[in-house]
Amino acid sequence: MLNGKKIVVVLPAYNAETTLRRTVQEIDRTIVDEVLLVDDHSSDGTSVEANRLGIPIIRHEVNRGYGGNQKTCYEAALSHGADVVIMLHPDYQYTPRLLTAMAGMVAYETYDFVLASRILGRGALKGGMPVYKYVFNRILTLIENVLIGLKLSEYHSGYRAFSREVLRALPLDLNSDDFVFDNQMIVQAHRAGFRIGEISCPTRYEAQSSSINFKRSMKYGWGVLLTALQYRLELWGIVSSPFLSVNLKSGVPTPTRSKGVAR
């Protein structure tokens, strides 16, 4: 625990057999109360390895996608009484050694939602991030900052910490089951008035690290742009998007919905 808050780490896993042990071994169990793994119908021995490591497992009978995996992760963490939930990819792309810092930023109520940014440290390319992904990351982030009104260094990190209040407030079931789920969570949290912070994270791309191909990257990019545009249209009262129907913090009522076509 930190500051009396229960810390739960969730591992959204898909074919992570070869990297799971290294990831789990670096988790600081002096502050992390529980580690939960959701196996999204892996074709390898991910669940077997998790059993060896003594990690509680939820296994999907069919593949539900990256976003669908996260939905199960957060539901499980909340059901276990988590006050702070940290999503850590078990492919060892993100260092578990930042868990304490990220958990502290939420547990001590500095931020409600923390992103581990690979861009802040300016070592993304040296860490092995493909050039085309780095370029897409920078272009998409610039456009998103303009449309959404934030000043984040990147929106595309899969290493995140949340307060219990964030996960309870956001209508995550209305989000995509695909990779754009991550971006939808950011705009939902911003729309609801939660405080979003960042911490610098070293970049590490290895042979075992999961990575979507160019075609999937393009699909993700269009989804990211659509999400940012939906936020801006919602803010202007032109078009209402169901996934942005969030309750604002501090007792502020939810804004009146426009009569535009829901997307």
Domain boundaries, the chain: 7-233
Confidence of residue 122 (pLDDT cuts 50, 70, 90): confident
**Residue 41 DSSP code:** S
Dihedral over Cα of 194, 12, 77, 100: its sign: negative
What confidence tier does 92 reach under pLDDT thresholds 50, 70, 90? very high
How does pLDDT run across 219-247, given as a tens digit for each residue?
999 999 999 999 999 999 999 999 998 86
For residue 215, what pLDDT is reported?
83
Assess contact for 119 and 198: CB atoms under 8 A: no
The pLDDT confidence band at residue 258, using thresholds 50, 70 and 90, is very low
pLDDT at res. 211: 62
Triad 228, 107, 127: Cα angle to 5°: 55
Superfamily covering domain 7-233: Spore Coat Polysaccharide Biosynthesis Protein SpsA; Chain A (3.90.550.10)
Task: Provide the mean pLDDT of the chain.
Answer: 90
Per-residue pLDDT reduced to its tens digit, 199-226: 999 887 766 655 677 788 889 999 999 9
